[in-house]
Structure 1
Amino acid sequence: MPFLEIEYKTLLTKDEYNRLSTFFQHVKPITQTNYYFDSSDFTLKAHRMSLRIRTFKNKAELTLKIPEEVGNLEYNQDLTLEQAKMIIKGSPLPEGRIKQILLEETINISSLHVLGNLTTIRRESQTKIGLMALDYNQYADIKDYELELEVTDPEQGKRDFDNFLSEHGIDFKFAKSKVARFATTLKK
């Protein structure tokens, strides 16, 4: 079943990241690696979709994101780590709603392959204003820091996010999605 992901995010300086780390010190960090898929001619990007496998220590998930007027429609399918590794190495996508959507969009799924990966060390906490995540990301030769807030009400969420940044002395710095930031490294 898809869900609508509405999130606000900002890039952080290393100093801002370190300051916010104290806000998240009660949260155990989780390491996750995103493996991004597309064809050599970027068919998914042309369809405004992104496909990834996210691996954790003991599990994985396949995710398809499709932009909506507000947020992204997100489809998730649980995978074992072994399934994920096989798909990353080139095995076909598993049966399920994600594969079905790609076929309905006439995507040649046999042309999809891993473009690369991005690893995040994430501290995530449910707050009174929404689900907040503090991320340290590594991809290509790049390291960056990011704060995300996932909300259900876009207007209230934006106000709450702006207020949180202001209260913590953080200037908003536009952050493209992780997949978009990763994709910019492919052009080099």
Structure 2
Amino acid sequence: MEIEIKIRLPTEEDTVKLERSLGTPLVASEDQDNVFFDGAHRELIKEQLVFRIRVIEKSGKDPVAIVALKGNAVLVNGIAHVEEEEEAIDIDIARRIIEDPSLIPDAAENHRLLKKIVERVPCKDGYTHMGRFRNVRHKYQWQEYLVEVDRTKYPHGTAYEIEIESTDPEQAKERLTSLLEEHGIRYGNSERNKFENMLHVTVQQ
């Protein structure tokens, strides 16, 4: 079970102000391409499951790809609980799947998590794209927390969010919001996760 604090920021200005207020150097920067898949009849989403492949690019390093399966996501008062399993996948295979989701069953023969996804919820008529977005993630070590500052690019514009994974989410949230208030940074609780935001944008178009 993954537990995260999710706090939204309204603008780039507030996001930059937050990064400066952390008072710590940037640990890492990632450019993430997030691609979501489901069966032709939305078999996975009907079971409250989300299947994603993320391609991550870091400056000076070879890109990597990660398969993720998430389930039973709950987001209340800026604290998210979700069951999540992740596993690396060969970058070339990942890119071929992104180009052609019909390759998923064949790729699953040699990948544990893909095989689990295919077997857990059979999709007899194959797979299709659910949606896609890019995210630029800046990571900072602040106090005992790894703070992830996200700029997520949807078709309608950019959303800004802070994420902190913690086993004591209430305390982590209190410390973070105290920092935001101390520096006059506007914020609010995230009401939807990024996948839900992507679907919401798709529906609105």
- Give the TM bin, normalised by the shorter chain: 0.7 to 0.9
Counterpart residue number, 1:177? 193
The reply on whether 1:56 has 2:56 as its aligned counterpart is yes
Counterpart residue number, 1:65? 70
> How far off its partner does 1:111 sit?
2.9
Q: What do residues 32-59 of structure 1 show as CA deviations (whole Å, max 9, x unaligned)?
A: 1110112344322221111111101211
Q: Return the structure number with greater strand share.
A: 2
Counterpart residue number, 2:77? none
> How far off its partner does 1:182 sit?
0.7
Question: Using the alignment, how far apart are the partners of 1:174 and 1:109 within structure 2?
Answer: 39
Question: Using the alignment, how far apart are the partners of 1:114 and 1:74 within structure 2?
Answer: 20
Structure 1: runs of 5 or more not aligned: none
Question: Using the alignment, how far apart are the partners of 2:144 and 2:124 within structure 1?
Answer: 39
Structure 2: runs of 5 or more not aligned: 58-62, 75-79
Which residue identity lines up with residue 68 of structure 2 in the other structure?
A: T
> How far off its partner does 1:101 sit?
4.8
Q: Which range moved further: 113-122 or 51-60?
A: 113-122
TM alignment of 1:29-44, pairs within 5 A: 29-44=29-44
2:8 corresponds to which of 2, 11, 18: 11
Question: Using the alignment, how far apart are the partners of 2:124 and 2:171 within structure 1?
Answer: 39
> How far off its partner does 1:24 sit?
7.1
Q: Which range moved further: 5-14 or 18-27?
A: 18-27
Q: Any idea what SS the aligned residue of 1:108 has? A: coil
Which residue identity lines up with residue 90 of structure 2 in the other structure?
A: T
> How far off its partner does 1:119 sit?
0.7
Counterpart residue number, 1:141? 156
8 Å Cα contact 1:24-1:125 kept in structure 2: no
Q: Any idea what SS the aligned residue of 1:71 has? A: strand
8 Å Cα contact 2:18-2:180 kept in structure 1: no
Q: 1:14 to 1:103 in 2, by over 3 A?
A: same
Which residue identity lines up with residue 62 of structure 1 in the other structure?
A: V
